[in-house]
Structure formats: C-alpha cells, structure tokens
Amino acid sequence: MKPVAIFRHNKTEGSGYFATFLAAHSIPSQLIAIDRGEPVPKSVGEFSGLCFMGGPMSVNDPLPWIEDECALICEAVDIGRPVIGHCLGGQLMSKALGGEITQNPVKEIGWSSARPEANDVARHWLGEQRVGATVFQWHGETFSLPPGATRLLANQYCTNQMFGLGPHLGMQCHVEMTPEMIVNWCQSWAAEVKDLPALPDSVQTPEKILAEMRPRLAAMRLLSDQLYSVWIKGLSI
C-alpha cells in the first residue's frame, strides 16, 4: 500500500494518535513537515490518502503552502482519495472545497462534549455514538460546511465540529491527542488566553485539563478508533 501523507504545520501539533493507529493497522505513513520547510507534493499519486494536522496559524493567512495544500485537497477529492483534517486541517479542507473560515463566537480550549447529529452520514462515521462524544478543543476560528458536506458533530460553542463528505472527514475538534501533546500545549495556555477579558465557559484551565486527562482521553480513544476505522476503509491501494 502507498503511504498516507501526514502534513505537520507546527512541531507541537504532530501526527499523535493518528500515526499510532495507522501503524497498529500496518498502514504506512509519510510525514511532510511543513514547519521545517518541506514542500507540498505536486500530486496525490504517491499516496493512499492525505491527513492534515493542526497549527496555530489561520488558513486566511498569506502563507505560501496554504494554496498548495488546498490544491492537493481538491485533487484528492476529485479522484476519491480520502482526506482527513484535524482542526486547522479541517479548516483547510473547508476552504479548499468552497467553505469559509471565520472567527468562532468564543475560543474553545480543553475537554468538551459534542452532540452527534441525527443523520445517516453521522451514523456511518460515528457508529454507536449516540449521546455525547468526548473531544479536545484548541481553536478560535471555525469553518462553514463546504457544499455537499454533512455535519456530524456540534456543540453549544461551535456549530460545526465535524463534517463528512464521501470518504473525507473534516474536524474542528481534536481527536488525535496524546498525553505528551496535551502537557505540551498547556504550556502555551497563558499566551492563548492573554487577550481575553475573562475566561468563557468554553475555556478550561491547564489544571482542569490535566486533572481530567486520564478518563477523558480514554473516552476519546473510542471515538478516534471509530472515526479512523471508517476512514481507512477508503484508502487507495
């Protein structure tokens, strides 16, 4: 099988549990470190699927690789090559496919629950997840649903937490977190909230994030395994 290309945009926002899942299923992967200046591949032909990770930048920023990644996403979707995006990655998918990225009403940081939608596409991706899905948040912007996409998850702070479009999955939330990533991100918490006049209910403190990590991470793994299991079924040999 050709490898899954994993695009990393920041050294602290790596492939996390997604790469662990692929390895456990004997699926090869290739890291493309955009943060180290590695170029965006010209074509998806060498890869069985594309995965886009998070990052602190906005897809509306004038960064040279954003247009190249969006073009690659469009090519993959045109030929049915599965694409998956985590947070910034989901925003890149939305932008590439005709959606818009705007400020979310509030920042979301820490653990939260997202409500599964009652539609067949959501049931396809989420399986038996019928109540609240445990996810991790770290964002200030959000995406609109691109044409043809279906919302899978929502919550009170961010309407579009996840969408499905054929074999493609775009997420505003994070399901790829590892304990190491969570501890690392908490170190930048003060910088993330310094401009907020007061902490909204959608923002947890590092102390609360870390105190809840063990049970929340175990619950989120069930969601990750479900989503990733569906996604890899569409990979090209």
Q: What is the domain-level CATH number for residue 206?
A: 3.40.50.880
Q: What is the Cα–Cα distance from 64 to 57, expressed in whole angstroms?
A: 12
Work out the average pLDDT over 4-10.
98
Contacts 24+ apart (CB under 8 A), 36-43: 39/68, 40/7, 40/65, 40/68, 40/69, 40/72, 41/5, 41/72, 43/72, 43/75
Q: How far is CA 202 from CA 109, 111, 162, 186, 230, in A?
A: 6, 9, 17, 15, 29
Tell me whether residue 218 is in a domain: yes
Domain membership flag for residue 77:
yes
The tally of domains found in the chain comes to 1
Query: 99-110: buried (b, 16+ CB within 10 Å) or exposed (e) per residue?
Result: bebeebeebbbb
Average pLDDT, the chain: 96
Domain, as residue range, for 153: 4-232
Q: Is residue 237 part of a domain?
A: no
| pLDDT at residue number 212 | 97
**pLDDT-based confidence at 129, cuts 50/70/90?**
confident
Domain for residue 34, yes or no? yes
pTM score, whole prediction:
0.97
**Beta strands 101-116 and 150-154: pairing type?**
antiparallel
Judge whether 185 lies within some domain: yes
